[in-house]
Amino acid sequence: MLVLLNSDILFDLQLVTDKVSARLTSLLDACRDGGHRVAIPQTALLEFDRQQTKLVADARRSLESAYATLDRSNVAYTRIAPEEAIQPCDLLRLISGLGVDADVERPTLEDFEDAHWRACLHEEPHPPDTKSDEMRDLIIWAVSLRLSKEADGALLVSRDVVHTHQRGDAEALTARLMRAETIEDALECLHVQTPAGGTIQALLAPAWAGLRDQGLPLVAEPMLRAVARPVFIEGTMGLESVECQLQAPTTTGAVLTARVHVQIRDNGFEEVHFRDIKVGAETRPDLTVEVAAPVEHDDEASYRERLAALQELLGDTQ
């Protein structure tokens, strides 16, 4: 998956020299381990560089002041020019040094034109009561939508209201762009992008419409925000049942959490049970839907083949 980082996620109160913050490192480590590519919109990188340039200037002045104090006290020392001792960091180099596949994404002319149009007309995803045109944020939004469409799905990590407001929900859904407001949320989203998470996403896909019909305010074709404690049970004919805890986006902007059990029948249908449902802080009653299962059962010969292979692996051929 492609992971896009906004400037407020890259932001650091301290001068960045040879490594990024521990929190950002945890996200980058997860991207590396999961094979996710990181993209930094050039607009976000320029904002990061601007903030770090100020910190570099402050640090150089502090060093010069320290030299002056040593001079007044007649303390011998080796002087290194502040411009040589304190250099601005190369963020992309630091990120790539962690083994992460990362690059900077420059906005296209179409991205600029799209952001200009939205800024002037205060079109979505602008909050309706905003007093600012938020041009930089809209450029990042345009870049994120474009890249997500090209990659068939991406994750934008940003706390900015333009990127997280519910007015952008429909457009993000069409572009398959997930959004996370914190590094912790982003890590949960990345945990879904595993074989287990992908299987659960596929199993639940036929059930979303029925769950909406029963009153859950789920967005159309939701991409799961988090999957925890998955348990898969294999039967004689293949996958038999799945249990997990999950989080999913809703049309209200709140996150839906639930305990889920999927029972797969031999007749090609599955029962999907949602328990302990909460939409934000609101508790909802348990729900059950029955839908066609998106999995194919093995035939008897395939089952015996798999069983024989397992017995041979375990050293038991009886």
pLDDT in tens, 127-175: 666 655 578 999 999 999 999 999 988 999 999 888 887 778 778 878 8
**Beta pairing partners, 263:** 241, 271
> How does the average pLDDT of the chain come out, rounded?
86
* Residues 38-96 pLDDT 10s: 999 999 999 999 999 999 999 999 999 999 999 999 999 999 999 999 999 999 999 99
Quick one: CA torsion of 174, 176, 181, 187, rounded to 10 degrees? 160
Q: Are 141 and 163 in contact (CB under 8 A)?
A: yes
Angle at 183 between CA 180 and CA 186, to 5 degrees: 45
Q: Report CA Rg, the chain.
A: 25
- Each residue of 110-126: pLDDT tens digit? 999 989 988 887 777 76
More confident residue, 202 or 74: 74
Which residue, chain included where needed, has tokens 């799945």? 242
Which of residues 102 and 128 earns the better pLDDT score? 102
pLDDT band at 193 (very low <50, low <70, confident <90, very high): low
Percent of the chain scoring above 90 in pLDDT:
52
Average pLDDT over residues 25-50: 93
User: Rounded to two decimals, what is the model's pTM?
Assistant: 0.67
**pLDDT for res 51:** 94
> Of the ranges 7-11, 26-30, 99-103, 133-137, which one carries the lowest mean pLDDT score?
133-137
Lowest mean pLDDT among 143-157, 181-195, 203-217: 181-195
Left if phi > 0, otherwise alpha if psi is -120 to 50, otherwise beta: which for 311? alpha
Length of the chain, in residues: 318
Q: What pLDDT, on the 0 to 100 scale, is given for residue 317? A: 47
The reported pLDDT for the residue numbered 66 is: 96
What pLDDT, in 10s, does the model give residues 215-261? 999 987 787 877 878 888 887 767 889 999 888 888 887 788 999 99
- Weakest-pLDDT range from 25-34, 236-245, 277-286: 236-245
The dihedral through the CA atoms of 29, 32, 37, 40 has a sign that is positive
Is residue 297 over pLDDT 70? no
Q: What is the 3-state secondary structure (H, E, C) of the chain?
A: CEEEECHHHHCCCCCCCCCCCHHHHHHHHHHHHHCCEEEEEHHHHHHHHHHHHHHHHHHHHHHHHHHHHHHHCCCCCCCCCHHHHCCCCCHHHHHHCCCCCEEEECCCHHHHHHHHHHHHHCCCCCCCCCCCCCHHHHHHHHHHHHHHHHHCCEEEECCCHHHHCHHHHHHHHHCCEEEECCHHHHHHHHHHCCHHHHHHHHHHHHHHHHHHHCCCCECCCCCCCEEEEEEEEEECCEEEEEEEEEEEEECCCCEEEEEEEEEECCCCEEEEEEEEEEECCEEECCEEEEEECCCCCCCHHHHHHHHHHHHHHHCCCC
